[in-house]
Amino acid sequence: MADAERPQIYLVTPKTFDPQAFAPQLAAVLDGVEIACLRLALVADAEDDLARAADTCRELAHARDVPLVIDGPFGLVERLGLDGVHLSDGARSVRAARKALGADAILGAHCGASRHDGLVAGEAGADYISFGPVGHSDLDDGAPAGRDLFAWWSQMIELPVVAEGALTPDLVADFAPVVDFFAIGAEIWRQDDPLDALRRMIAPLD
């Protein structure tokens, strides 16, 4: 159950970054806080740019025994030497991704605030379900995923659940008893010191 232990931290990269400049920041965060998984969320027009970012992230993550998944087409997972994929289209691609990547790949599905989509994605082979945003942001569409959704999921469903999107320390404190992971990214990378920002974000867990 989600409330049996402290939620783990699932780190998400920025959507835009220069790999060479980003590497020291990423290394500092990976060394400063225990990270369960890293998601490459870069939005790039050229696959070469994505490959360079994947190489940088993979080297840093794997050196610390942190798996690396990609937010994007599951066809890139094996080509870029990654550990899995985070699908942003709910349950629609889960079955095809699982068939293509096999049983050992990490496969997550973001399902907005839809309990139904989460259940379907789980039945189709997802390893975890992500709901969000949990907070309010002008950049997010739709209603936030409420605490009641996570509370129901953590009580009724064994599949791990991830909370993400516009997180704050207060939301971390509130949602901690009913989630398995907090996915944190944009909240910290826009700060001058991302490691310090992450530590402050998850301080309620200590």
Mean pLDDT over 102-114 rounds to 96
Q: What's this model's pTM, rounded to 2 decimal places?
A: 0.95
Residue whose C-alpha is closest to residue 34's, from 56, 66, 57: 66
Mean pLDDT over 18-47 rounds to 96
Q: What is the pLDDT of residue 173?
A: 97
Is 80 in a helix, a strand, or coil? coil
Mean pLDDT over 82-96 rounds to 95
Q: Is the pLDDT of residue 4 over 90?
A: no
Position 72 confidence tier, pLDDT thresholds 50, 70, 90: confident
Cα angle value 102/106/112 (rounded, 5°): 120
pLDDT in tens, 158-197: 999 999 999 999 999 999 999 999 999 999 999 999 999 9
Q: What is the pLDDT of residue 99?
A: 96
- Domain positions in the chain: 8-205
Taking phi first (over 0 means left), then psi (-120 to 50 degrees means alpha), and beta for anything else, what does residue 81 get? left
Which tokens go with 34?
């225990």
Question: Helix/strand/coil (H, E, C) string of 93-136?
Answer: CHHHHHHHHCCCCEEEEECCCCHHHHHHHHHHCCCEEEECCCCC
* 47 vs 62, residue with greater confidence: 62
Length of the chain in residues, anyone?
A: 206
Position 43 confidence tier, pLDDT thresholds 50, 70, 90: very high
Q: Is the pLDDT of residue 3 over 50?
A: no
Summary mean pLDDT of the chain: 94
Residue type, 144: P
Q: Is the pLDDT of residue 140 over 90?
A: no
8-205 adopts what CATH topology?
TIM Barrel (3.20.20)
Which tokens go with 30?
């990976």
Position 141 confidence tier, pLDDT thresholds 50, 70, 90: low
Q: Is the pLDDT of residue 27 over 50?
A: yes
Position 142 confidence tier, pLDDT thresholds 50, 70, 90: low
Residue whose C-alpha is closest to residue 162's, from 196, 194, 203, 118: 118
Q: Phi and psi dihedrals of 58, rounded to 5? A: -65, -45
* Percent above pLDDT 90 for the chain: 90
Position 1 confidence tier, pLDDT thresholds 50, 70, 90: very low
